[in-house]
Chains A and B, each alone.
Chain A
Amino acid sequence: MPKTETKSIEKLTYEEAYVELEEIVSTLESGEKPLEEALALFERGQLLTRRCVELLDKAELKVRKLSGEELEPFQEGE
């Protein structure tokens, strides 16, 4: 089981959720899992998929600008 398994779904970033989802898919792909384990993976996979879609839906482009070597917020039209 991947380490992130224990992390709450709601706290995962898109990358984390996506990487774990890919792992689950390839674990399921690699074949002979006991049914119990396959079901658990499947259930986790469903949650991860939902999390990813949710993060995509609410994603907002984050724009900052360099001021010297510091990063500060950038207001468009500034």
Chain B
Amino acid sequence: MDGSTAMGGWCTSIVLSVDISLECEYSLDMEQLALFDASPRWTVTTLTRYLRQLLEEDASLQDVSVQGELSNLSRPASGHIYFTLKDAGAALRCVMWRSDAARLRVTLKDGLAVFVHGNISIYEAGGQYQLYVDTISPLGEGALYQEFLRLKALLEAEGLFDPARKRSIPDFPRRIGIVTSPSGAALRDMLNTLRRRLPLLEVILAPTPVQGLEAPPAIVAALRTLNQVTTPDVILLARGGGSIEDLWAFNDERVVRAIVECTSPVITGVGHETDFTLADFAADLRAPTPTAAAELATSITVLDLKATLVQYAGYMVDRLNSIIQQKQESGSRLNDRLRLASPLRRLQTERQRLDELSRRWNAALVQRLAILAEKFNGLKNRLLALSPLEVLRRGYAVITKDQKVVKYVSQVKDKDAIRLRVQDGEFTARVTDNG
């Protein structure tokens, strides 16, 4: 304002000096008249613009961090946010443009104590100076974060976050304990996930508030009772997303210690992916969300169990087949080939029993046994074909001379006596036309 004052003062003093030198006794009237007559140097617009430029040229007003309490919060359809920042002695008009408002992490409400950052300027049409805000953060955040770091270092030094201390999560739990709010979306998400993945489960809920001053002792009590009364295979400690203050109970030292004291392994699912609490560090496993916690607690699902059952069923069929095959092989070793009919019948009887079983219980087995039966029949036919009796039955004869089988013309001479074996007996004959 210094320049403006100096310039205005200079003009006025010229006029006054003239007035005073001419008619001193009317100086007061003349002064008023002179001011009135002087052609106005400012319009409202130029003056306001001038003031605005002054403010904007002041670097310290273009990088303003100020704390106060939100009031008169208004968020019209334009998406811009208007509010007044107050403290005990003054009020400051503030505006936050839509583009900055979109990046806002906190939910604003009247009465909230905040840090804001921005630049001071003047809204010319309204004649108001105001703070053009680019960021807003809750006032507590900085202090809370310092407390978080302090406690984390302390508990870490005590070994509470030691990976060696952590219990392993069972693959196939039967009973799962849940510590969370009975009315939250987190519980609904977890139950739906567990129901979908492993409906055999028994779930025991230990209801507790999960935010506010009463939350930490209530969470501690819920963990203890759940652990002592029902000894679940695994405990899920969870809460849906919220602000850092909402999640603060999970940074409470008492909660951290209660997690460590549990005999059941604990999986935490607090807030969102990006939220890390001290409870997460103390837990045996940290899940990014409640739903993910329920998933990590059920690494084996009902689909896996069914796949194993199918595998077992197939395996039992295979084993039975191979046992039958072993019998078949030892049978063929032990018995004379010509009298294989008997063990074959026995195996066929057993095959029939198997057929009955499979008809009753397993369509797949029918097919396997049909293949098996074909193997039996094939073997039987091969064995029968090898039998000399079968050959004789088709009209062939076996010729022997001196107990040796005659296979070549050169083995016999004219007048030799030979034995012929046909299917029903033997007789002697004489060669009449050789050599």
Chain A residues close to B by CB (< 8 Å): 14-15, 21-22, 24-25, 28-29, 33, 35, 38-39, 41-43, 45-47, 49-50, 52-53, 55-56, 59-66, 68-69, 71, 74, 76-78
Contacts and interface: CB of A to CB of B under 8 A. Distances in A.
A42 B357 contact: yes
A69 B229 contact: yes
Nearest to B323: A38
Contacts of A69: 225, 229
Given A42-B316, A49-B309, A62 B353 contact: no
Contacts of A59: 199-200, 302
Nearest to B206: A66
21 contacts: A22-B312, A25-B312, A29-B315, A42-B357, A43-B361, A45-B316, A46-B361, A49-B313, A56-B309, A59-B199, A59-B200, A60-B199, A61-B194, A61-B199, A61-B201, A62-B202, A65-B205, A66-B205, A66-B222, A69-B229, A71-B204
Contacts of A33: 323
Contacts, number: 108
Contacts of A47: 361
A63 B319 CA distance: 41
7 closest A-B pairs by beta carbon, nearest first, are A59-B199, A65-B205, A28-B319, A61-B195, A46-B361, A63-B203, A66-B206
Nearest to A55: B200
A42 to B, nearest CB: 5
B336 to A, nearest CB: 22
Which secondary structure characterizes the binding site on chain A? helix
Given A28-B316, A45-B312, A76-B191, A62 B201 contact: yes
B394 interface: no
Contact of A24 (B188, B194, B316): B316
B324 interface: yes
B182 interface: yes
Contact of B306 (A15, A56, A71): A56
A63 B182 CA distance: 12
Q: Is the interface of B mostly helix, strand, loop or mixed?
A: helix
Interface of B: 174, 182, 188, 191, 194-195, 199-207, 222, 225-226, 229-230, 302, 305-306, 309, 312-313, 315-317, 319-320, 323-324, 327, 350, 353-354, 357, 361-362
A68 B207 CA distance: 10
A40 to B, nearest CB: 10
A56 B309 CA distance: 11
A64 B225 CA distance: 14
